[in-house]
């Protein structure tokens, strides 16, 4: 049976018009939202980011593996089909720069842009390497950590086995302030070998930091997220279906917007991805 995430990643490549330049041309992919990754409004932003990246990964002119992905959520997606246009804007010797857009038919029957994105892929070469953000060492094993109960109104959390070590959702929404840090183990449910698309999605599994900081259930939604990839395809294959350790925190809450950053390591302690996003919140 096909994994729900792979169902969500299904993109059908559309035929090019007869007069299109075949070299370095934009490609259009048809997809749709998936009910298993529904959020309170629209789909889980992480799966949308993965779908945007998947359009790059499936493009016949792609050079190398993902290095960076930025996704801008202009509006909440409707539960409906969409199309993604992926265009290699420039190809250099070792890097390739992409522009992407996701279009849906809006409630008025007009086509509208709901998501824009940029991406960079790269052909990495073996060089000196080092990590200055080591995996925390004082964490319990995932098997000894309790799974986080999924909120009943949100479907996408059922697709991830998340086990909080620190910084859970508040037990009482009473306005008590705390630090914004969350640390947790996470992997796909059901199990699925890690790849670049699923790593992009897992970079967005952390609930809004403002909820942790204030214990106040305020509306919040990601405006823009950037994911940086620090792993090769071989490194992802070595991680397989294993756990990832994630850690997220905020830096500033200011006049309706806050940022949050996060890191994801595999069980071997390799830093796989770092991410930063800006999030809207309502008082």
Q: What is the pLDDT of residues 226-235, one digit of tens each?
A: 999 999 999 9
Residue 17 pLDDT > 80, yes or no? Answer: no
Query: 2-23 in b/e burial notation, b at 16+ Cβ within 10 A?
Result: ebbbeebbebeeeeeeeeeeee
What's the CA gap between 207 and 229, in Å, rounded?
21
Q: What percentage of the chain has pLDDT greater than the value 90?
A: 84
pLDDT, tens digit (0-9, with 9 covering 90-100), for 179-235: 999 999 999 999 999 999 999 999 999 999 999 999 998 999 999 999 999 999 999
Secondary structure (DSSP) of 75-129: SPPPSSEEEEEEEEEEE-SSEEEEEEEEEEE-TTS-EEEEEEEEEEEE-------
Q: What is the pLDDT of residue 251?
A: 97
Residue 255 CB neighbours (<10 A): 7
Is there a contact between 226 and 275 (Cβ–Cβ < 8 Å)? yes
Top CATH class of 4-123+145-281 equals: mainly beta
Phi, psi for 244 (deg, rounded to 5): -115, 140
What's the CA gap between 257 and 107, in Å, rounded?
27
Q: What is the pLDDT of residue 19?
A: 63
Q: What is the pLDDT of residue 136?
A: 93
Of 9-18, 87-96, 155-164, the poorest mean pLDDT is in: 9-18
pLDDT, tens digit (0-9, with 9 covering 90-100), for 90-132: 999 999 999 999 999 988 899 999 999 999 999 999 999 999 9
Cis peptide before 266 (omega within 30 of 0): no
Q: What is the pLDDT of residue 1?
A: 87
Q: What is the pLDDT of residue 45?
A: 97
Give the mean pLDDT of 56-61: 95
Give the mean pLDDT of 251-279: 97
Residue 262 pLDDT > 60, yes or no? Answer: yes
Question: Domain map of the chain by residue range?
Answer: 4-123+145-281
Task: Supply the DSSP symbol for 60.
Answer: T
Residue 23 pLDDT > 60, yes or no? Answer: no
Is there a contact between 265 and 222 (Cβ–Cβ < 8 Å)? no
Q: What is the pLDDT of residue 107?
A: 87
CA distances from 66 to 78, 82, 153, 228, 236 (A): 27, 23, 33, 8, 12
**Beta bridge pairs of residue 239:** none
Computed over every residue of the chain, the mean pLDDT equals 94
Residue 224 CB neighbours (<10 A): 16
What's the CA gap between 191 and 161, in Å, rounded?
9
Residue 152 pLDDT > 80, yes or no? Answer: no
Give the mean pLDDT of 55-60: 96
Which tokens hold the place of 40? 């309170």
Q: What is the pLDDT of residue 172?
A: 86
């Amino acid at each position: 049976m096909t994994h729900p995430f792979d169902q969500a990643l299904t993109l059908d490549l559309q035929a090019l018009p007869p007069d299109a330049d075949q070299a370095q041309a934009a490609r259009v992919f048809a997809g749709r939202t998936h009910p298993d990754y529904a959020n309170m409004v629209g789909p889980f932003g992480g799966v949308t980011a993965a779908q945007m990246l998947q359009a790059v990964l499936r493009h016949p002119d792609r050079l190398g593996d993902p290095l960076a992905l930025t996704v801008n959520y202009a509006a909440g997606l409707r539960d409906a089909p969409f199309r993604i246009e992926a265009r290699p804007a420039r190809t250099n010797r070792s890097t390739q720069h992409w522009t992407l857009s996701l279009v849906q038919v809006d409630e008025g029957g007009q086509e509208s842009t709901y998501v824009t994105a940029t991406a960079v892929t790269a052909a990495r070469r073996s060089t000196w390497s080092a990590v200055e953000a080591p995996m925390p060492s004082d964490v319990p094993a995932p098997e000894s950590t309790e799974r986080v109960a999924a909120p009943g109104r949100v479907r996408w959390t059922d697709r991830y086995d998340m086990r909080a070590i620190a910084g859970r959702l508040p037990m009482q929404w009473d306005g008590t302030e705390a630090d914004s840090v969350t640390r947790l183990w996470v992997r796909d449910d059901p199990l699925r070998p890690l790849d670049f698309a699923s790593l992009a999605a897992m970079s967005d599994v952390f609930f809004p930091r403002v909820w942790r900081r204030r214990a106040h259930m305020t509306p919040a939604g990601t405006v823009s997220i950037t994911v940086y990839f620090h792993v090769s395809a071989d490194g992802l294959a070595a991680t397989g279906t294993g756990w990832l350790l994630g850690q997220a925190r905020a830096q500033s809450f200011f006049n309706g917007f806050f940022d949050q950053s996060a890191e994801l390591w595999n069980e071997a302690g390799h830093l796989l991805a770092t991410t930063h996003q800006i999030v809207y919140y309502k008082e």
